[in-house]
Amino acid sequence: MARMKRVPASFLPPIALDSRTKTPMYRQLYDWFRRAVIDGQMRPGQRVPSTRGLAAELKISRIPVLQAYEQLLAEGYFETFVGAGTCVASSIPDDALSPPFVKKRKGQQEIVGKRGPRRMSRRGVALTQSPEQSWLDNLGAFRVSLPALDHFPIRIWSNLVARHSRRPIKGIMAYAHAMGYLPFREAIAEYLSTVRGVRCDASQILVTTGSQQALQLSAQVLLDPKDRVCLEEPGYPSARHAFMMAGAQLVPISVDRDGLNVEEMIRRGRGARAVYVTPSHQYPTGMTMSASRRLLLLNWAASSGAWIIEDDYDSEYRFGSHPISSLQGLDTDARVIYVGTFSKVLFPALRLGYVVVPRDLVPAFFAARDAADVFSSTLYQAVLTDFIREGHFARHIRRMRMLYMDRRKALVNALQTQMGDMTEVIGTEAGMHLVAMLPAGTDDVEVSRKAGQRGISATPVSSCYLTAPARGGLVLGYGGANARQIHDGVGKLKMSIQDLSRAMIRRNLQ
């Protein structure tokens, strides 16, 4: 008999039995357990109470409990093991678990499950219809946005965590201000003014759960449903999702070697309430927005009353040239909402980011954050404050800049030597990823799927488009991959592209 994974017992939700209905007691118990298993309230392998114990707890006879358990055992919801008693089965009958599917009918949105149609919002439906991004589940070579975690000064970090955890003062454990921990906001403001040319003080810094929440709050505060928002095409898919959540209408605007095509945006984005841009290092193409485009964009925002959401997600890492100052620093009309993150410079599971809010919008952002999830963990804000103040942050960035520069070179070399003209690298020498364009006609999602089967994460550039792209490519992160992994990973990418070409030739011959 196969041994089943033992799952520790956990609390059962209350079982409500109704002695006044016609439904027999055993049936009520059977229905209750079946539902709990299907809904995941009871997990595979979890022990269920003994019949004697449950009968005593519910103050009923043991007979209906025995009958219900027998039925659940017969139908495969429960299993018994010698010495382990009765447990939830390790695999549940398939038809019980078949997922609901989303159906659209005459402008309505419904999720159709076993209980019939159930209405949900248009936004909810639109999000579930976004293509699955399976490449993001893979943490192997070329996963985008993955820093060199093995180079993180974990001992220093752990000491700082211990330092603050040992002092369980009210300030660390109680409710705190929705804008964030003040010393942390002061440290961020100082860093941004010195390094990024951002004009701000601590009162304008709102600490967020990563930059994703900053985008979501910006959308909530600045946009009404159906408002138009311009986005870079190709662009950052998660920004798209944040604006979709606010019910905004997305207007894709092309990107060229000078970044967002602002002239096109002015023509096509008439009436737009906001524009989302990554001017320092366009995601994913890696272009830097030219000075003339920056001024044009700021002028447009000032004259049309639109907002600019500037996502400065990885500008700490520029290799060939000096860092480019932020768009926010050039803004004289307080039109720019500046968003940043610690996900790339430190690590993504920290979930700390920030937004620099124009002064008059501070009360609205404060209220929106308070309504969303109140505030971020004070412990990590305090730890990071010391990490910055004691110089570890600046030292880590300097070390990582050198490392990523080497890793980028290694990747470009490997692509050139192993793949020749099969790919073409685009983008400035910055950040933690590059784009390798594929030969015309190559399906990048298929290449990504084949690479995934070989343990490689390659984000298809087409996933960054709202419309169909003219040519496919792969967004390849090099932050989290060492020289060996880069070399081997490129070999596997090459095999994936060759597999696909062979399959295409075979298909054409048939």
Ligand X SMILES: Cc1ncc(COP(=O)(O)O)c(C=O)c1O
In the complex, the residues that contact ligand X under the rule CB under 6 A are: 144-145, 210-212, 236, 278, 283, 311, 313, 341, 343, 348, 353
- Please, which residue, 36 or 144, has the CB nearer to ligand X? 144
- Please, which residue, 36 or 430, has the CB nearer to ligand X? 430
Q: Where are the beta strands (DSSP E) in 221-335?
A: 228-233, 249-256, 259-260, 274-277, 307-311
What's the token pair of residue 144?
Answer: 């985008």
- Please, which residue, 122 or 241, has the CB nearer to ligand X? 241
Nearest to 458 by CA among 436, 488, 480, 440: 436
- Please, which residue, 145 or 376, has the CB nearer to ligand X? 145
Half-sphere exposure of 433 (CA within 13 A, CB side): 30
Q: CB of 460: closest distance to ligand X in angstroms?
A: 15
- Please, which residue, 143 or 164, has the CB nearer to ligand X? 143
Rounded-to-5 percentages of helix, strand, coil across the chain: 45, 15, 40
- Please, which residue, 37 or 207, has the CB nearer to ligand X? 207
Q: CB of 50: closest distance to ligand X in angstroms?
A: 46
Q: CB of 325: closest distance to ligand X in angstroms?
A: 18
- Please, which residue, 181 or 236, has the CB nearer to ligand X? 236
Q: CB of 435: closest distance to ligand X in angstroms?
A: 12
What's the token pair of residue 96?
Answer: 């019980």
Nearest to 369 by CA among 100, 94, 179, 506: 179
Q: CB of 311: closest distance to ligand X in angstroms?
A: 5
- How far apart are the C-alpha atoms of 396 and 236, rounded to whole Å? 26
- How far apart are the C-alpha atoms of 252 and 209, rounded to whole Å? 26
Q: CB of 145: closest distance to ligand X in angstroms?
A: 3
The answer to whether 464 and 284 are in contact (CB under 8 A) is yes
Nearest to 485 by CA among 171, 225, 10, 146: 146
Nearest to 380 by CA among 115, 158, 104: 158
Q: CB of 183: closest distance to ligand X in angstroms?
A: 21
Q: Give residues with Cβ within 8 angstroms of 16, minimum separation 6.
A: 32
The answer to whether 279 and 308 are in contact (CB under 8 A) is no
Q: CB of 237: closest distance to ligand X in angstroms?
A: 9
- Please, which residue, 164 or 344, has the CB nearer to ligand X? 344
- How far apart are the C-alpha atoms of 354 and 14, rounded to whole Å? 41
Q: CB of 213: closest distance to ligand X in angstroms?
A: 7
Facing residues of 476 across strands? 434
Q: Where are the beta strands (DSSP E) in 359-440?
A: 424-426, 433-437
Q: Give residues with Cβ within 8 angstroms of 213, minimum separation 6.
A: 353, 372, 373
Nearest to 376 by CA among 207, 499, 163: 207
Name the residue type at position 403.
L
What's the token pair of residue 241?
Answer: 């999702």
- Please, which residue, 236 or 393, has the CB nearer to ligand X? 236
- Please, which residue, 239 or 422, has the CB nearer to ligand X? 239
Q: Which residue is nearest to ligand X (CB)?
A: 210
Q: Where are the beta strands (DSSP E) in 444-510?
A: 459-460, 473-477
Q: CB of 209: closest distance to ligand X in angstroms?
A: 8
